[in-house]
């Protein structure tokens, strides 16, 4: 059922929202879809990685950063390795969060596999939103192919907020296409 809803939202985004194609050169391409056009994409290609920042055009207090890297060795080739790496990387953030521990939750992805850890700033609970001071953050890792890894960071004022859910939907609905002759 979740996959059917994701496909519907993906179709709606393609018709009414905005799309961003990321050219990964010899590593393939990624297509990202957002339901509305209230977001700006900034893509910077550094050769060894691609940095994508997604920021709101208006007063929405949320953002997303994707860092696409091309590892030479596929050391995160299983779900358990990826999950353990993410939880270890997030341990320091967890110490200062309301959650107190990094617990990886699986993304519901169309392509590849990945996890995210969610954290809440205890100092901001119950306070009104403040621009660029986010109450929640999700850190994630996605394995799209042996040579394509995506680091994800989504910041917002709540995990159930519309901006957070839009960005999460964009991540979970992304489409990866390998270059012809390459495997996933």
Which residue ranges make up each domain of the chain? 2-177
**How far, in Å, CA of 23 to CA of 75, rounded?**
23
Label residues 12-28 b or e (16+ Cβ within 10 Å = b).
ebeeebbebebebeebb
| 5-9, 167-171, 180-184, range with the lowest pLDDT | 5-9
Mind listing the pLDDT tens digit for each residue in 98-157? 999 999 999 999 999 999 999 999 999 999 988 999 999 999 999 999 999 999 999 999
Q: What angle do CA 143, 146, 150 make, to 5 degrees?
A: 30
**How far, in Å, CA of 119 to CA of 159, rounded?**
9
Domain 2-177 annotated CATH 3.30.2320.30 = no
- Nearest residue to 33 (alpha-carbon basis) of 176, 150, 182: 176
Half-sphere exposure of 71 (CA within 13 A, CB side): 15
**How far, in Å, CA of 121 to CA of 40, rounded?**
26
Beta-bridge partners for 52: 43, 66
> What pLDDT score was predicted for residue 155?
98
């Amino acid at each position: 059922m979740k996959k059917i809803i994701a496909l519907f939202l993906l179709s709606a985004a393609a018709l009414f929202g905005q799309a961003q194609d990321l050219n990964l050169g010899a590593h393939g391409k990624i297509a990202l879809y957002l339901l509305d056009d209230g977001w700006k994409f900034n893509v910077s290609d550094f050769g060894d990685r691609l940095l994508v920042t997604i920021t709101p055009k208006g007063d929405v207090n949320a953002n997303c950063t994707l860092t696409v890297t091309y590892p030479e060795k596929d050391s995160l080739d299983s779900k358990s390795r990826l999950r353990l790496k993410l939880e270890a990387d997030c341990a320091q953030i967890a110490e200062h969060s309301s959650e107190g521990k990094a617990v990886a939750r699986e993304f519901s992805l169309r392509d590849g596999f990945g996890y995210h850890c969610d954290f809440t700033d205890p100092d901001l609970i119950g306070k009104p939103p403040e621009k660029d001071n986010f109450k929640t953050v999700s850190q994630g890792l996605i394995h799209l192919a042996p040579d394509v890894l995506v680091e994800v960071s989504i910041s917002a004022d709540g995990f159930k907020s519309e901006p957070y859910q839009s960005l999460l939907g964009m991540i979970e609905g992304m489409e990866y296409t390998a270059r012809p002759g390459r495997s996933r």
